[in-house]
Amino acid sequence: MTRAHSSAIGLGLMLFCTALFGPLSLAQDGGATQPQSLEDAEWVCDRANNLQFNGSLANESVQWQVDLGPRTPGSEPSAEFRQSIKENVTSWGWNTTEQIHQRGDMTLTNLFATYPSHDNLKRKQIIISAHYDSRYMADHDANESNRDLPVPGANDAASGAAVLFELARIIPSLNLSEEIVLFWNDGEDQGNDSIDYTLGAEAWAENLTAEQQERIHAFVLLDMVGDADLQLHNVNPGNQTLKDRIILLGSALGLVNGSNACNGLNGTDVIQYNKQVSVIDDHIHAHALNIPSIDLMDTRYGEAKFGTFGTYWHTLEDTPDKVSASSLNRVGQIVELGLLTQAFTFEEPDEPSIVSQPEQQISETEATTSSGNTSFALFAMTSLAFLAIGVIALERQLKS
């Protein structure tokens, strides 16, 4: 798809968002603050111009995680990761808890950090999640002799885990009215087929009570967000309102091609929501519970390679040099601005999300990327072919 084309679609979506939101007001809890609106460009830009997220610190965390060694479930590096996160975020005022689940021969440990740390059941809750486990085998490595080795996992998924860690540093100073839960989930990437993926997030969702589900306004997932050549794709399934809001936030930050950013510059082509990709990822379990969910994910890591998420994905090439502070900064800024503008909060419990149902669910092992237009073209060509066969068959029948 050409740049011009995606820009036109992006602009179309933007216009659609504006029409959709109308005068949407995002009042804060307590009613003391004036209602504000996401499409009030000046108000959004006031916040966009004063963000604190530091991509360089997040990048340091990526290197640190990779240096720990493979963070496979139950391993020493996995325990070291959690210990360090807990010590740091506790010193920044967060409350941490762990959930342990047995899945087959794996002991999974989900790690949660909550802010404010004192319980207030009236607060709306936003969950931001990333998996922190790294894959036990580089089964897509070009070199066959590497395929039994564990991946370094710089982008998949130290990147998302690092963005959460940096968010933990800055969130206490944002004075948010919502309760934020940072959820480092385990056992996302240890499967051999689609049913063995996203196990930690699945276990978490299975154990939510109805009351807990009701408090959650959004589940925001970050996966493979550090690629130096960052492109965020439109991942299905996902909540359409959250997707629309991500485009608004990205436009303000100069991440949508053809839009005007708060800094007055033309947007770059980072948010590519014209490209739809079906992905089985951690967010599907919250989504299945009707919790508004979104997966911020770059589905092309390295060169595009059919049936995969790119040539570096699940290989020994997934190293820190492929990840950049700038990309981590962009994703962190999207989330920070989203929190500051209450883009992940709903006035009323969101109605069941309208999602375009994927024709087939695709796991990380069987990833297929296609733009909507390519799918349509294929569908049209197949239909035409069947039509032609039908006409020929009919002709033959008539002739005989």
Helix (H) or strand (E) holding 247: helix 240-252
Q: How many CB atoms lie within 10 A of CB 35?
A: 12
Q: How many residues bind Zn ion (CB under 5 A)?
A: 3
Give the nearer residue to Zn ion in terms of CB position, either 310 or 332. 310
Nearer to Zn ion among residue 80 and residue 139 (C-beta)? 139
Task: Find the shortest distance in angstroms from Cβ 157 to Zn ion.
Answer: 7
Q: How far is the CB of 224 from Zn ion (least distance, A)?
A: 7
Smallest gap, in angstroms, from Cβ of residue 376 to Zn ion?
Answer: 29
**Minimum CB distance to Zn ion smaller for 9 or for 279:** 279
Smallest distance from the beta carbon of 306 to Zn ion, in angstroms? Answer: 17
Complex with Zn ion: residue 156 or 244, whichever CB lies closer = 156
Interior angle at CA 82, CA 223 and CA 165, nearest 5:
50
- Binding segment for Zn ion (CB under 5 A), chosen from 16-24, 68-76, 113-121, 186-194, is 186-194
Element (H, E) at 388: helix 372-399
Cβ 341 to Zn ion shortest distance, Å:
30
Pick between residue 189 and residue 317 the one whose CB is nearest to Zn ion. Answer: 189
**Considering only residues 189, 227, 298, 336, which one is a binding residue for Zn ion as defined by CB under 5 A?**
189
Which residues does 119 contact at the CB level (< 8 Å), separation at least 6?
none
* CA–CA separation, 376 and 190 (whole Å): 33
Comparing CB distances to Zn ion, the nearer of 17 and 323 is 323
Q: Under rule CB under 5 A, which residues in 96-135 are in contact with Zn ion?
A: none
Q: Shortest approach of Zn ion to residue 196 CB, angstroms?
A: 12
Q: How far is CA 389 from CA 353, 380, 396, 397, 400, in A?
A: 39, 14, 11, 12, 17
Which span sits near Zn ion by CB under 5 A: 10-18, 273-281, 338-346, 357-365?
A: 357-365
- Minimum CB–partner distance for residue 153 and Zn ion (Å): 8
Give, as ranges, the residues between 358 and 397 that touch Zn ion (CB under 5 A).
364
How far apart CA 289 and CA 292 sit, in angstroms, is 9
Nearest Cα neighbor of 343 from 238, 222, 246 is 246
Longest dimension (CA), the chain: 85
Q: Return the structure tokens found at 146.
A: 């590497």
Q: Peptide bond before 27: cis, by omega within 30 degrees of 0?
A: no
Binders of Zn ion among residues 137 to 166 (CB under 5 A) are 156
The full length of the chain comes to 400
**Binding residues vs Zn ion (CB under 5 A):** 156, 189, 364
